[in-house]
Amino acid sequence: MKKILIIQGGGRPNGNTDQLVKAFAKGADDAGHEVEIISLIKNEVKGCLGCNACRYGKPCVQKDSFNEIVPKIMAADMLVFASPLYFWTISSRIKAFIERFYCIAEEDKESPLGRYERYPEKDCALLMTAADNFFWTFEQAVSYYKFTLVNYIGFHDRGMLLAGGCGDTNGKPQIDKTEHLSAAFQFGKEIYKE
Ligand SMILES: Cc1cc2nc3c(=O)[nH]c(=O)nc-3n(C[C@H](O)[C@H](O)[C@H](O)COP(=O)(O)O)c2cc1C
C-alpha cells in the first residue's frame, strides 16, 4: 500500500480534469492505496516570493494553504500533478504549487552539477486534459514535468496520462465521451504493479 497525494490544478468542478483525477483515484483506491486529492481551488497556493526566509529555518511567509499541505507531501510516496492545459502548458495553480517546493528543499553540499539542493524522494505522475489533440499538444507541459520534477527535483516518474480531445471550456466537459476515464482508472490501478 502506498500513499498517493493528488494535486488538482483544474478549474471546473466536475470538469474534465476533475473527472480524470477521480477515475485515477478510484483505480488506485481499488488497488489498495491510500489516496488523497487536494484541490488548488479550495486550497489556494500562491507562487514563491523568493524572500528566502525558508532558507533560514523559518516556515514559508506566504499566508495560504501550502504550509498545511507540507506534512502531506512529506508523508506521501507519490505526488500526482493534475492540470488542464492552459496556453499550452500546466495551469498557473500547478506552477505556483511547484514553486513552493523551494521551501522544502534541503542544503546539499554534494549536489550533482546543475542542482543546488536536495528534495524529498518521491514518485510522481502527470495527469492532463486539453481541448486539442495534436501530436504536439502537450509538448511544453511534458517538457516542464520532465525537466523540473523528474530531472531537477529528482522525483521518480511513474507515467503520464495526456487526455487530449476533451472539448473546450465553453460548454460541458466531454471527457466522458472518450476512452480517457477508463485509461485513468487502469493507470491508477496499475500504478505500482510490477
Ligand atoms: C485559460 C484556458 C486556456 C486553455 N488553453 C488551451 C490550450 O492551450 N490548448 C488546448 O488544447 N486547450 C486549452 N484549453 C482548454 C482546456 O485545456 C480543456 O478544456 C480542459 O479539459 C479543461 O479542463 P477542466 O474541464 O478540468 O476545466 C484552455 C482553457 C482555458 C480556460
CATH of the domain at 108: 3.40.50.360
Taking all residues of the chain, what is their mean pLDDT, rounded to a whole number?
95
Q: How many angstroms does the Cα of residue 36 sit away from the middle of ligand 1?
A: 24
Determine the 3-state secondary structure of 59 from DSSP.
coil
Would you state the cell numbers that stand for residue 11, as one nine-digit string?
Answer: 478549474
| 173 CA closest ligand 1 atom index | 25
Over residues 57-85, the pLDDT tens digits come to 888 899 999 999 999 999 999 999 999 99
Asked, for residue 116, whether it belongs to a domain, the answer is: yes
The neighbour count for residue 65, using CB atoms within 10 Å, is 17
- The number of folded domains in the chain is 1
Are 19 and 170 in contact, with CB atoms under 8 Å apart?
no
CA of residue 60 to ligand 1 center, whole Å: 31
Cell of 102: 523551494
Distance CA 118, CA 101 (A): 11
Does ligand 1 lie within 6 Å of residue 91's CB atom? no
Does residue 99 have a pLDDT over 80?
A: yes
> How many Cβ atoms sit within 10 Å of the Cβ of residue 78?
21
**Which of 6, 70, 73, 8 has the alpha carbon at shortest distance from 36?**
6
Percent of the chain's residues with pLDDT above 70: 99
Report the alpha-carbon distance of residue 60 to residue 34 in Å, rounded: 27
194 domain residue, yes or no: no
Residue 166, CB-side half-sphere exposure with 13 Å CA sphere? 25
Query: What band does 194 get if pLDDT is binned at 50, 70 and 90?
Result: confident
122 falls within a domain: yes
Q: pLDDT by residue (tens digit) across 130-189?
A: 999 999 999 999 999 999 999 999 999 999 999 999 999 998 999 999 999 999 999 999
Coil, strand or helix: which one is 134?
coil
Closest approach atom of ligand 1 to CA 88 = 8
Residue ranges making up the domain that contains 52: 3-189
Does the Cβ of 140 fall within 6 Å of ligand 1?
no
Q: Atom 3 of ligand 1 has which residue's CA nearest to it? A: 86
Protein residue closest via CA to atom 2 of ligand 1: 86
